[in-house]
Amino acid sequence: MNENIRIGNISIAVTRKKIKNVHLSVHPPNGRVTMSIPVGTRLDVARAYAISKLAWIRDKQEKLAGQARETPRKFIERESHYLWGRRHLLAVVERSAKPSVSVDHKRITLFVRPGSDQAKRASVIHEWHKSLLHETVPRLIGKWESRLGVKVNAYFLQRMKTKWGSCNCTKRHIRLNTELVKKPKDLVEYVVVHEMAHLIEPSHSDRFYALLEKHYPFWREARAELNELPLTAEEWKSDYTSKVNPVIRRIYR
């Protein structure tokens, strides 16, 4: 059963899990607060812990509130779009052929049929983003499977509002946010390593961070840089963003 703690104007969603320590998180983009607690922990004890971390919570929320955000993309001529951390200008070419996308060092060119609306243009770009991730993610998974000594059975690509990635340890699946295609590739690798490390240690325990420290010693810098980059605009109204099914790729040997 979900529980809730309120401290002033801060609401904290509480989940009980089979863990040893309390885990408090402030999530982008809006500063939503969650707390995972051991199954037998009294709620008043959890509340006392949250109060002790109140300054930390407010600091994290203030940083998120001040973080740069992308304005909603209109997919029009000379609009800025990011790819692997670099800014490109969008060129839109209308032609009677199958929609496609090409890129060079300065420009992303979107080819669409005459009269294509914003939702269609957005859909074409989103599918292209997924194709780029499908070219990149399996290589990263293969690289880190051997280093971490784990096996990923499948990965998912999906637009997510609050997470860069997640891991289903039981099925040995990882899920990645398609917005990662806009970030530098070393940050994409950090997210992949982070989620794969959960196949060894499911929780954000001291053991988990020790694993990151051993295998990816610059994880703190990567996390900080990722959190400082512009957040995606919240106005995800088109079907391709709000109702898209996750794309699944299985890893075959």
The pLDDT of residue 19 is 85
Distance CA(55)–CA(40), nearest Å, equals 26
Quick one: fold of 128-250? Zincin-like (3.30.2010)
Nearest alpha-carbon partner for 241 in 93, 129, 76: 129
Give residue-wise pLDDT tens across range 112-169.
Answer: 999 999 999 999 999 999 999 999 999 999 999 999 999 999 999 998 877 899 999 9
Is residue 12 within a helix (H) or strand (E), and if so which, with residue range?
strand 10-17
The pLDDT of residue 195 is 97
Q: Where in the chain is the domain with CATH 3.30.2010.10?
A: 128-250
Q: 141-147 long-range CB contacts below 8 Å, 24 or more apart?
A: 141/174, 141/192, 141/196, 141/251, 142/251, 144/192, 144/193, 144/196, 144/215, 145/196, 147/215
The pLDDT of residue 227 is 73
pTM of this prediction?
Answer: 0.71
The pLDDT of residue 237 is 29
Task: Name the burial class of residue 70, with classes exposed (0-12), middle (13-18) and buried (19+) by CB atoms within 10 angstroms of its CB.
Answer: middle
Task: Name the burial class of residue 39, with classes exposed (0-12), middle (13-18) and buried (19+) by CB atoms within 10 angstroms of its CB.
Answer: exposed
The pLDDT of residue 61 is 87
**Cβ-contact 158, 247 below 8 angstroms:** yes
The pLDDT of residue 67 is 63
Distance CA(11)–CA(9), nearest Å, equals 7
Token readout for 172 is: 């040995």
**Cβ-contact 57, 26 below 8 angstroms:** yes
Distance CA(86)–CA(185), nearest Å, equals 10
Give residue-wise pLDDT tens across range 166-183.
Answer: 999 999 999 999 999 999
Q: Where are the alpha helices (DSSP H) in 33-171?
A: 43-52, 54-65, 118-148
DSSP state of 134: H
The pLDDT of residue 68 is 59
Among left, alpha and beta (phi > 0; psi -120 to 50; other), residue 31 is: left
Token readout for 17 is: 């899990």
Q: Which residues of the chain have pLDDT under 70?
A: 1, 29, 66-70, 228-253
Which residue bears the tokens 């001040």? 66
Q: How does 217-242 read in b/e, with b if 16+ C-beta sit within 10 Å? A: eebeebbebbeebebbeeebebebbe
Distance CA(97)–CA(101), nearest Å, equals 12
